[in-house]
Chain A
Amino acid sequence: MSLLQVEGLGISFGGVTAVNDVSFGLETGKIVSVIGPNGAGKTTLFNMISGVYLPKSGRVRLDGEDVTGLRPDLLAVRGMSRTFQNLQIFHEMSVLENVIVGFHMHERGPVLADLFGLPGSRRRARAAAEGARVLLERVGLERAAEREAGALSYGALKRLEIARALAARPRVLLLDEPAAGCNAVETEEIDRLICEVAKTGVAILLVEHDMKLVMRLSDTIVVLDHGEKIAEGDPALVSRDPKVIEAYLGAGTTEALHAHG
């Protein structure tokens, strides 16, 4: 049984089926990518797995436990974390504080202790701040720690989101278009970061439009079209799949698919 198991997941909005009967599994330390044209239901699928939407059918299992439709904060406790396609940054807070929030589950304690600034409360906050600085270093943002998050560049914010998600020490990490809107250098940094994270034993589910990135990183690719899974397999297999090429990729992207090898 996989660490994350998606079984027959489906949802419809106002009678229109957005995702229908999608199944796949994700193992520890592996990278699975979900690709498909715009409107194929990738982000919808993500939102169902991460508890933002309640699926109409199907199950999501995390380490065997049924977590379908569980609130995102309860999923976080069980080891699932995510980033967002349209950034969700705490703009008014410093870069460091953004990451400290990611440590919330490890730093939270009694409200009264926090109000009175008891030593225990300060110790928890200090430990989280130290951990956050280590993560900022890992994503190369240590020098921006004290800046207001809203002042960072787009690519830096993408990495900040990943750092915040990692702060929760997830077993499963969902990355929703981490390289979207990034330039080549930033994409490369994110590429390297994702590889490193996977090596530490985190299972990564990736939605991404950058085909080069997907082909290079993924252990398995799941292809969606019109809300249905049309192919699944390793990059080489998927890129040769006539159904994938015909139904969705088109000539331009086919070149990109073969560019990696």
Chain B
Amino acid sequence: MRLSPKQSTLLVLAVLMIASPFFFPSNYYYRVGSLVFVNSIAVVGIVILTGYAGQISLGHAGFLGIGGYACALLPAHFGLPPALAVVAGAALSGAIAYVVGRPILKLKGYYLAVATLGFGVLVSMVLANEGWLTGGPDGIKVPDPGLRALLEQVGIELTNPQFWYAFCGLVLFIGAWLALNLRESPTGRALRALHGSEVAARTAGIDVAKAKLNAFVISAVYASVAGSLLALQNRLITPDVAGFMHSIELVTMAVLGGAGSVLGGIFGAALLTLLPQVLTVLQDYEHVVLGLVMMLVMIFLPAGLIPSARRLLRGRGE
């Protein structure tokens, strides 16, 4: 039986998620693993926006901030259970993306980049400056969602890092599945078409503005969920999450791994999350090596790691 690209991607993902813990020497690695997953969720959103639809956002960390602070503020002020706050935060992020996206998605290329950058800066400024609500630059505490306790009641006992590894892994798996469904669907094809040629996409009857807005809203929801999961497992959220550097990091992860491919995006997220941990042995030279790796990849594998590797393998096979 031949696996479709979607099935093989999901299979690779599942195997890596389940097999990795067998090589974890300590609980700390679960923690790093769940960080990889959280970043990957946001990056899969970027893959939809940038890889499929060809639109750039340098402000997506703003949606991580919205999702994260929703988990702190909604339970505190409205008594919403933290798990439901994830959903409410995602809905809020989607709604904000809809309102913000309508005017700014008319912009193209670097104009769009600057406009989204402005949005991200705006969100992180509000989060840092409105101390009465958000706790200011020091951040704010996030309540325990109580999901682990729920599992304990049915006899599944996990340490805290183990639980978050499993939970974030599950969410990422679902997120990847949705993104892969989208890719081969009419909506996803419309996105990839307008990436190739907007004028031809229009001629085929595609409402380009609406299609871009779809991608922007979907990717905002991914980012929001990632932000929520980050806040819930850290039990704390600070405005840094929504910061400019974080937005850049997300885009870099997607581009490095291969923005057009879900697996590529996840691989990029894993690489840029793990590499700094590994490179700490180099101490002062950590950032130099990190920068060097990124430059070399872009020079020699401009399509990103995974798509380039695929092309290489296919070339051998023929």
Contact = CB atoms under 8 A, between A and B. Distances in A.
Chains A and B come from one and the same complex: yes
Interface of A: 50, 52, 71-73, 76-77, 81-82, 84, 88-93, 97, 100-102, 104-105, 107-109, 111, 114-117, 121-122, 124-125, 128, 164-165, 167-168
Q: Main SS of the interface on chain A?
A: helix
Q: Main SS of the interface on chain B?
A: helix
A117 B185 CA distance: 8
Interface residues of B, number: 28
Interface string B181-203: 11011111110110111011111
A114 B203 contact: no
Given A93-B193, A101-B204, A88 B186 contact: no
Contacts of B199: 52, 72, 84, 88
Interface stretch (B82-90, B98-106, B205-213): B205-213
B34 interface: no
Given A93-B192, A115-B218, A117-B185, A88 B197 contact: yes
A116 B186 contact: no
B260 interface: yes
Nearest to A102: B204
A127 B204 CA distance: 17
Contacts, number: 107
Closest 8 CB pairs of A and B: A90-B196, A114-B185, A76-B205, A88-B200, A117-B181, A105-B205, A72-B202, A114-B187
A71 B78 CA distance: 45
B214 interface: yes
Contacts of A104: 186, 189-190, 193, 204-206
B245 interface: no
Contacts of A101: 189-190, 193, 200-201, 204, 206
A164 B206 CA distance: 13
Nearest to A77: B205
B196 A114 contact: no
A91 B186 CA distance: 18
A72 B203 contact: yes
A90 B203 contact: no
B209 to A, nearest CB: 9
Contacts of B204: 73, 76, 81, 101-102, 104-105, 164, 167-168
A89 B190 contact: no
A244 B185 CA distance: 51
Contacts of A89: 196-197, 200
Interface in B68-110: none
Contacts of A105: 204-205
B186 A107 contact: yes
A122 to B, nearest CB: 8
Nearest to A101: B193
A100 B181 CA distance: 16
15 contacts: A71-B202, A72-B199, A76-B204, A90-B192, A90-B193, A92-B192, A92-B195, A93-B193, A104-B186, A104-B189, A104-B190, A114-B185, A115-B187, A121-B181, A122-B185
Most buried by B among A82, A109, A111, A125: A111
A77 B185 CA distance: 20
Contacts of B14: none
A90 B202 contact: no
B90 to A, nearest CB: 13
A165 B203 contact: yes
A50 to B, nearest CB: 7
A257 B193 CA distance: 40
A71 B187 CA distance: 20
Contacts of A91: 196
A73 B209 CA distance: 11
